[in-house]
Chain A
Amino acid sequence: MVIVGSGAGGSVAAWELARTGHPVLVLEKGRNLLPGLGGRGQVRTLFSNDEVKAGRFFEDQDPILEPRTLRTVAEARRGVGRSFVGDVNDLPTVVGGGTIHWDAKVPRFWRQDFKGRSLLGPIPDANVADWPLEYDELEPFYDEVEDRLGVQGDRSRMPATTLAQAPRRHDFAMAPNPPMYAGLRLSAAAEQLGYHPYPYPMAVNSRSLHGRPACSSCGFCTGFGCPVNARGGAAVSFLHDAIRAGAELRPRCFVHRVDLAPGGRRATGVSYIDESGAHRSVRADVVILAASAIETARLLMLSAGPHHQEGLGNGSGMVGRNLMFHYFSVGAGVFSERAHSWRGPATTFTLDDFVGPVSGAPARSAGLPYLKGGCCEVGGGTLLLEEASLYAGAGLRGAALTGALRGLALRDHITGIQLNAEDMPQSSNRVDLDPRIRDFRGFPVPRITHTPHRFELAAASHFAPLLQEICAVAAPTSETQLIGAQMAGSTGGHAGPYATAHIMGTARMGDDARTSVSDRFGRLHEVPNVVLADASVFVSSGGFNPTLTIMALALRAAREIGR
Chain B
Amino acid sequence: MDVRANRREFVAGGVGGALAVLGLAEPARVRALIDEVAHGRLPDGGGRFLSAAELDALRAVTARLLPGPPQDPGPGALEVHAAEAIDLLLGAFEMRPALIHAGGPFSGRAGGSGDDFAHFVALDPQAELGWRIRLEGSRGMPEREFAGPVVGLQEIYRRGLARLEELAHARIGHDFARAGTAVQDELLSSHDHVVSRFATAAVANCLEALCGPPEYGGNHGLAGWRGLQWRGDTAPDGFTAAQVSEPDPPTGIVAESPEASLRASSRLAVLARVAPLLGRAGRRDPHAGAATRGEQG
- Residues on the A chain within 8 Å of B150, using CB: 64
Residue among B64, B216, B270 with the highest chain A CB neighbour number at 10 A: B270
Contact A406 B257 (CB under 8 A): yes
Residue among A50, A67, A177, A416 with the highest chain B CB neighbour number at 10 A: A50
- The 0/1 profile, CB within 8 Å of B marked 1, for residues 481-500 of chain A is 01100110011011110111
- The 0/1 profile, CB within 8 Å of B marked 1, for residues 403-443 of chain A is 11111111110101000000000000000000001111010
Selected interface stretch from A84-92, A282-290, A306-314, A363-371: A84-92
* A53 at the binding interface (Cβ < 8 Å): yes
Contact of A392 among B203, B260, B266 (CB under 8 A): B203
* B5 at the binding interface (Cβ < 8 Å): no
- Residues on the B chain within 8 Å of A385, using CB: 207-208, 211-212
What are some 30 contacts across the A-B interface (CB < 8 A)?
A48-B106, A48-B117, A49-B233, A52-B208, A57-B127, A62-B130, A64-B296, A65-B126, A65-B130, A67-B147, A85-B147, A86-B290, A179-B245, A181-B246, A181-B247, A218-B238, A223-B282, A227-B106, A227-B236, A338-B249, A339-B247, A380-B282, A393-B277, A394-B270, A394-B277, A399-B67, A402-B76, A407-B260, A479-B268, A491-B276
Within the complex, what minimum Cβ distance (angstroms) separates B186 from chain A?
12
- Residues on the A chain within 8 Å of B257, using CB: 406
- Residues on the B chain within 8 Å of A31, using CB: 124, 127
Contact A405 B228 (CB under 8 A): yes
Which residue of chain A lies nearest to B233 when distances are taken between CB atoms in the complex?
A49
* B280 at the binding interface (Cβ < 8 Å): yes
Selected interface stretch from B9-17, B18-26, B96-104: B96-104
Q: Given contacts A400-B270, A406-B228, are A65 and B235 in contact (CB under 8 A)?
A: no
Contact B260 A406 (CB under 8 A): yes
* A51 at the binding interface (Cβ < 8 Å): yes
Q: Given contacts A388-B210, A486-B271, are A227 and B204 in contact (CB under 8 A)?
A: no
Contact of B102 among A50, A65, A399, A408 (CB under 8 A): A50
* B3 at the binding interface (Cβ < 8 Å): no
* A398 at the binding interface (Cβ < 8 Å): yes
- Residues on the A chain within 8 Å of B272, using CB: 482, 486
* A384 at the binding interface (Cβ < 8 Å): yes
Selected interface stretch from A105-113, A136-144, A329-337, A549-557: A329-337
* B273 at the binding interface (Cβ < 8 Å): yes
Q: Given contacts A51-B211, A88-B286, A217-B238, are A337 and B227 in contact (CB under 8 A)?
A: no
Which residue of chain A lies nearest to B188 when distances are taken between CB atoms in the complex?
A397
Residue among A52, A70, A412 with the highest chain B CB neighbour number at 10 A: A52
Contact of B244 among A179, A411, A445, A482 (CB under 8 A): A179
Distance, CA A384 to CA B226, complexed state (A): 12
* Total interface residues in chain A, CB < 8 Å: 113
Contact B230 A384 (CB under 8 A): yes
- Residues on the A chain within 8 Å of B130, using CB: 57, 62, 64-65, 440
- Known A85-B147, A332-B275, A340-B243; further 4 A-B contacts with Cβ < 8 A: A227-B235, A402-B76, A486-B275, A499-B284
Distance, CA A420 to CA B24, complexed state (A): 50
Contact B104 A388 (CB under 8 A): no
* A198 at the binding interface (Cβ < 8 Å): no
Residue among A49, A67, A414 with the highest chain B CB neighbour number at 10 A: A49
* A37 at the binding interface (Cβ < 8 Å): no
- The 0/1 profile, CB within 8 Å of A marked 1, for residues 278-294 of chain B is 11111111111010111
Distance, CA A393 to CA B279, complexed state (A): 13
Within the complex, what minimum Cβ distance (angstroms) separates B113 from chain A?
14
Contact A178 B245 (CB under 8 A): yes
Distance, CA A438 to CA B110, complexed state (A): 44
Distance, CA A437 to CA B245, complexed state (A): 49
Distance, CA A386 to CA B212, complexed state (A): 10
* B175 at the binding interface (Cβ < 8 Å): no
* A473 at the binding interface (Cβ < 8 Å): no
- Residues on the B chain within 8 Å of A181, using CB: 244-247
Q: Given contacts A64-B130, A437-B147, are A494 and B275 in contact (CB under 8 A)?
A: no
* B6 at the binding interface (Cβ < 8 Å): no
Which residue of chain A lies nearest to B230 when distances are taken between CB atoms in the complex?
A384
> Residues of B with Cβ closer than 8 Å to A?
64-67, 71-72, 74, 76, 100-107, 110, 116-117, 121, 124-127, 129-130, 133-134, 143, 146-148, 150, 185, 188, 203-204, 207-208, 210-213, 216, 225, 227-230, 232-239, 241, 243-251, 253-254, 257, 260-262, 264, 266-268, 270-288, 290, 292-294, 296
Residue among A252, A275, A340 with the highest chain B CB neighbour number at 10 A: A340
Distance, CA A71 to CA B90, complexed state (A): 33
Within the complex, what minimum Cβ distance (angstroms) separates B190 from chain A?
13
Residue among B117, B213, B244, B292 with the highest chain A CB neighbour number at 10 A: B244
Within the complex, what minimum Cβ distance (angstroms) separates B222 from chain A?
12
Contact B146 A442 (CB under 8 A): yes
- Residues on the B chain within 8 Å of A494, using CB: 279
Contact of A394 among B232, B239, B268, B273 (CB under 8 A): B273
* A389 at the binding interface (Cβ < 8 Å): yes
Contact A438 B146 (CB under 8 A): yes
Contact A401 B267 (CB under 8 A): no
Within the complex, what minimum Cβ distance (angstroms) separates A325 from chain B?
12
Contact B282 A227 (CB under 8 A): no
- Residues on the A chain within 8 Å of B230, using CB: 384, 411
* A344 at the binding interface (Cβ < 8 Å): yes
Residue among A252, A334, A396, A408 with the highest chain B CB neighbour number at 10 A: A408
**Interface hits, A207-232 → B, CB 8 Å:** 215-220, 222-223, 225, 227-228
- Residues on the A chain within 8 Å of B133, using CB: 64-65
Contact of A67 among B65, B207, B275, B296 (CB under 8 A): B296
* A47 at the binding interface (Cβ < 8 Å): yes
* A42 at the binding interface (Cβ < 8 Å): no
Contact of B250 among A338, A398, A437 (CB under 8 A): A338
* A55 at the binding interface (Cβ < 8 Å): yes
Contact B239 A499 (CB under 8 A): no
* A58 at the binding interface (Cβ < 8 Å): yes
- Residues on the A chain within 8 Å of B281, using CB: 382, 386, 390
Within the complex, what minimum Cβ distance (angstroms) separates B68 from chain A?
8
- Residues on the A chain within 8 Å of B64, using CB: 397-398
* A126 at the binding interface (Cβ < 8 Å): no
Residue among B72, B103, B279 with the highest chain A CB neighbour number at 10 A: B279
Contact B293 A483 (CB under 8 A): no
Q: Given contacts A328-B279, A402-B76, A490-B276, are A343 and B239 in contact (CB under 8 A)?
A: yes
Distance, CA A442 to CA B251, complexed state (A): 54
Distance, CA A79 to CA B25, complexed state (A): 59
Contact of A388 among B207, B213, B279, B282 (CB under 8 A): B207
* A267 at the binding interface (Cβ < 8 Å): no
* A395 at the binding interface (Cβ < 8 Å): yes
Residue among A53, A222, A338 with the highest chain B CB neighbour number at 10 A: A53
